[in-house]
Amino acid sequence: MSLKNKKIAIVCEWLTNLGGAERVNLTLHKMFPEAPVFTCIYNQKNIPDFKDTDIRTSFLQYMPFAKKKHSFI
């Protein structure tokens, strides 16, 4: 199966600290660097590896304390 003509997107719940799931998403991003990353909340300060990536966040990104207290939202 060829991925040549396929649209690829990476989706994850949040990118707020560098753990196991975030490392998997980083590996996927390295495999598909043109793929946008869809997530609810992104904290660039804690995960700078995604700084040049097309990150698309939800409205939750702009909620007060969302980057630190995201598990309560």
Residue 4 resides in a domain = no
Higher pLDDT, 27 or 61: 27
Examine residue 3 and state whether it is found in any structural domain, yes or no: no
Asked whether 17 and 25 are in contact (CB, 8 A), the reply is: no
The number of folded domains in the chain is: 1
DSSP 14-64: EESS--HHHHHHHHHHHHSTTS-EE-SEE-TTT-GGGTTS-EE--GGGGST
Q: What is the mean pLDDT of residues 12-21?
A: 88
Asked if residue 36 is part of any domain, the answer here is yes
Residue 21 has pLDDT above 70, yes or no: yes
On the question of pLDDT at 32 being above 80, the answer is: yes
- Give the Cα separation of 18 and 59 in Å (integer): 22
